[in-house]
Amino acid sequence: MNSLLLQNREWLIQPEALQSMATSLRGLSEHEFFPKKATENPLLTIEDGIGVIAIEGPILRKPDLIARVFLGATSSEEIGEALREAAGRNDIKAVFLNIDSPGGTVAGTPELAAAVASLNERKPVYAFSSGLMCSAAYWVASQARAIYATPSAQVGSIGVVQAVIDSSAAIDKAGIKVEVFSVGKYKAMGAPGTALTDDQRELIQSNLAEIAAEFHDAVLSRGRAIPAEAMEGQTFSGKQAQRHNLAGMVPDRAEAMRRLKVYHTSVDTKSRVMTTALEDQLLEARTQVDDLTRDHQAQTELLNEASTQVESLRGEVELLAAEIDTLKAECDEAKIQAANLIAQRDAATSQVSTLQSQITELEASQTDFDRKLQLEVARVVASTGTTMPARVTPAGDTNQAADLHSRFAAITDPTEQTAFWRKLTPDQQALILKHQA
C-alpha cells in the first residue's frame, strides 16, 4: 500500500498538500500504473554569478521514484549537496533559493536549514517564492539573509502535523483479528489494525510539541519579529506575510534577483567584477534610493494602517473602560443588595429561632394538657364505672344539651332508656334535665 509511505511520520507540510499526496498515491495503487523514469534536472544553476537553487515540491530526505514523479518531491540531501557546491565554487558570489514547496518531512529539514545558515555566513543567501513557501520550506528559507515573496504567494504554515490512521474498527467489521506482539509499550505504536493508547497519543503529541518549539526558535533566530499568533500553522499571502514580518513583498522574481545584485556589489555579472566607474556607482545609488523609497512607502502604508488600527483599538478601549465603570457600579449595588439580603437572612434566622422556642413551649404545654386530660378521663371513668367515651363540653352548652336530649328522647324502650341514662355522667344528666325544664 503506497499510502503507508505517508503514515506514522512527522510532517512539516500543509495539511491539504499531504492530503493531495495521499490521493495521488491511492490513484497509482488503484490503476496499477508504474511510471516511466523521469529525467532529473540539476538543482543548481548559475545566473550572472548568482547560484540559483530550485526547491520545488514536497521536501523528502530520500524520495523514491514514485514520490518524485507523482508528488513532485525533492530530496533534502540533494538540496544540501547543491548548497555545498555553491559554497565551494568561486564563480558563485551569492545564492538565490527559488522555492515553490508546501513543506516536507521533519527528517532532514533541521539539517538543511542549518546548511543554509552556514552558507549565509560565507555568501549572501536570499530566499524567494512566487508560489508556496510553507512549513519545512519556510524553515529552510528562514535561515537566509532575506526572504521575498510575491503578493499571491503563500508563506508560513509554521507548525507540525502527523496523521495516524486507526483502521481497527474496519478490520473488526471485516472479521479480521490483528494480534501484535511487542516488547515496550511504544514499540507497536501505529501498527496497522490497532488503536493508539493514551500513552502513545501523549508521546506523539510531546514529540510534535518539541519539533514545533525547535521550528519557532529557528525562524526567530535571525531577529525577525514574528508574533506568536502568526506561528499557529496558518498560511499567509505575500502581503500578509510582510505585515507579520515573515517575508518582504516584491512584484516578481526579477526584482528579488535585482535586489540581491544591487545590495551585494561583489557579485560577478557576466564573468567580470562589477565596474566601479562613476556612472555605474551612480546607477547603483539611484537603484538603492528607489528601493529605499519603495520600502519607505511600504512602511508608511503599514504605519498608516497600524495608526488606523490603534485609533480603532483606542475607541474599543474607551468603550471597554465605560463598560468596566458600569460593571463596577453594578458590582457595588450588588454588594449592597447582598449585604441587605444577609441582614434579612440573619433576621429571618432569629425569627425562626424564636418560633422554634415557641413551638417547643407549645409542645410542652400540649404534653402537659394531654397528661392532665388523661388524668381527668381516668377520674371520670372511676366515678361513673363506665368506659363509654363522653363528650366533655363547657357548662351551659345548649347544643350539647339538645343533642343529648334528642338522643335520650329517641329511645322508646324504657329498659334501653334506663341503660342509656345510667351511662351518662352527672353533668350530662344535669344538661338533659335542664334542657327538659
CA distance 307 to 317: 15
- Asked if residue 271 has pLDDT above 50, the reply is no
Domain ranges of the chain: 2-164+190-272, 398-436
5 pLDDT exceeds 50?
yes
pLDDT exceeds cutoff 60 at 219: yes
**pTM as predicted:** 0.54
> If you search the block for the grid coordinates 501523549, which residue do you land on?
202
Note the CATH architecture for domain 2-164+190-272: Alpha-Beta Complex (3.90)
Residue 416 — pLDDT band, cuts 50, 70, 90? confident
> Which pLDDT score is estimated for 215?
92
Residues 6+ apart with CB under 8 A from 405: 431, 432, 435, 436
Mean pLDDT of 63-85: 84
244-260 pLDDT tens trace: 999 999 999 999 999 88
> Which pLDDT band holds residue 242 (cuts at 50, 70, 90)?
very high
Cell of 79: 538540496
Round to whole Å and give the CA distance between 419 and 407.
Answer: 13
- 7 by Cβ neighbours in 10 Å (0-12 / 13-18 / 19+) ranks as middle
Are 158 and 245 a contacting pair, CB within 8 Å? no
pLDDT digits (tens, 9 = 90+) for 41-51: 478 999 988 99
Whether residue 255 contacts residue 146, with contact meaning beta carbons closer than 8 Å, is answered with: no
Provide the mean pLDDT of the chain.
81
Residue pair 166/145 in contact (Cβ under 8 Å)? The answer is no
Q: Are strands 125-129 and 11-13 parallel, antiparallel or unpaired?
A: unpaired
In single-letter form, the type of residue at position 362 comes to: L
Q: Of 86 and 27, which is predicted with more confidence?
A: 86
